[in-house]
Structure 1
Amino acid sequence: MKPARLLLVLMTLIVAATAAASVAAWWWLQRPLDLATARVELSIEAGTSPREVAQAWVRAGVQTEPWLLYQWFRASGDARRIRAGSYEIEPGVTPRGLLDKLVQGDEAFERVRLIEGWTFRQFRAEMARAPHLRPTSAGLDEAQLMAAVGLPGQRAEGRFFPDTYVYSRGVSDLTVLRRAAHAMQRRLESAWAERAPGLPLKSPDEALVLASIVEKETGRPDERGRIAGVFVNRLRIGMPLQTDPSVIYGLGEAFDGNLRKRDLQTDTPYNTYTRGGLPPTPIAMPGLAALRASVQPEPTRALYFVARGDGSSVFSDDLAAHNRAVNQFQRKTP
């Protein structure tokens, strides 16, 4: 075969092979990846190279050759745009779709809901149950945890805002707690800036303590402002707050669900029957409505309230009227 003809044949073969490779590559990019399980999850740390990302996906359960994924990442021109984060893929995802997800930062998220009126102990228990949340704080005591979230020297109770928090899978629980702590700081500062004049509260911290009591005492949202008004009236005249939730908080794990007369007479820093003024710390995590009610209480002459048993309360201006309400709704006597 003449040299010129041989060169033509070789060039033809090269072109054909290149075309075939291009068709094969196009077909592979459009074809759904085989997965070892119904859902494959992967957390990519910052600084992970594209080659390591490709290898990690294969180890996680993407059934293809890691060099194929890596070459696709490189050929696309987007290899260096892959973002760190927690990702999840399901059957049907193609190599092209996988890379799009990584470049867009289309992460898999989870949620944890922290409820108004919960204590810090309940918050930590819920965080421990939250899915795919790394328990970095598990070995920390309260002081160490508060330092880790940027509030050194403060007590934890009342310092975290109750809300629903969305987080990336694999993130540290301290990240969520920091967000909750900063959210409470912002909302408390905002509420304090809008406080009514003449309140018997010296600081935002005192407003936070009062808000936690209002949160625990409220049976119906529409009564929150009036309940705050009762406690503000008592503070103004130096009357003990006499709030059962604070007493219960002071009993801690000794409380068995039944508040007895002896509990009301046993002095603790949180017994608002034996001690005047506010307790030393919040007794729960108040929500935004309780914060606002504590600094903008409803004007009222009432000094007492008692639960009807249906979630609502009877408010009284004097002790005689209050005793009648107690007899009617608590003792069930005329």
Structure 2
Amino acid sequence: MLFDNIVVIAKKEIYAVKNINDLNKLKIKYLGKKGYITVQFLSIKNLNKKEKIKKSIIFNKQKKQIQTIIINRKKEIELEKNDKKFLNQKIDITLPGKYIKIGSEHPIKSIINEIEDFFINIGFKIVTGPEIEDVYHNFDALNISKNHPIRKEQDTFWLDKNILLRTQTSNIQIRTMKKEKPPIRILTSGKVYRNDYDSNHTPMFHQIEGLFIDKKVTFTNLKGTLSLFLNFFFNKKYKIRFRPSYFPFTEPSLEVDILNKNKQWIEVLGAGMVHPNVLKNIKINFSKYYGFAFGLGIERLAMLRYNINDIRLFYENDIRFLKQFKFNNFI
């Protein structure tokens, strides 16, 4: 082989082959242990240093050029093979495409988004806050007495004597009232934690609470807002009952029931006018400003909407359960 044109000769031979096996044979011929380039390196071992360096540079250059040609030809042969394979295939263009299953939003998340959108549209803003909370923001500022049963370990997850997992999202309301001046119109949502577990309770669940503080907020405003929301959420007008109740942080307090299709009253949420002691704790002038607050459990509303009798089903990650959600007419 001529020393100067070895790359040209190799290129002609490489591009003449039509398959990978023949290409590999040429690779061995030129770059193998007994191939042309290896022989050339062995032939210069007895030359002087200057000549040896000169020849080595040339042989390395030839080696790299031949390697590049082989790699490029291999890609071309593989591409030609694939093209021929696809061209020879018979494709029925009338066949339906492959069905790709698309996931859906978890029903709890979907309901949270739906409720938040409703209250945003009537002027509320969404506020979030810490799930690990101190006693003051979770209990004391909300007018919850020292001996209230919810403070006990049977109901609350305590991390130490002063730190706990929040038992309601009202802690966010306290933090917001400390930072902002009235008027305040917020909706708080998130996970809350209580030490309870059965078909109607889980240690972690989701809660949404609303707060409206201004100079002329009345009980009528509260009733109107809740009626508007419930008719929106259940997509119909239902008979709603407001009955007296008790919560430490509201006065007066109430619970709201709706009449289902079986003529049964179903409790859906709790609410009331913000207790003056709560406003006093946050240093808001309770003789000038008034407000209402309400709270509802997302899982509770989801169970009512979808006629589910066990809250734990939402958290078992059973695809058969999660994929079947559609609007129904439970109520």
TM-score normalized by the length of structure 1: 0.21
Greater strand share, 1 or 2? 2
Larger Rg: 2
TM-score normalized by the length of structure 2: 0.21
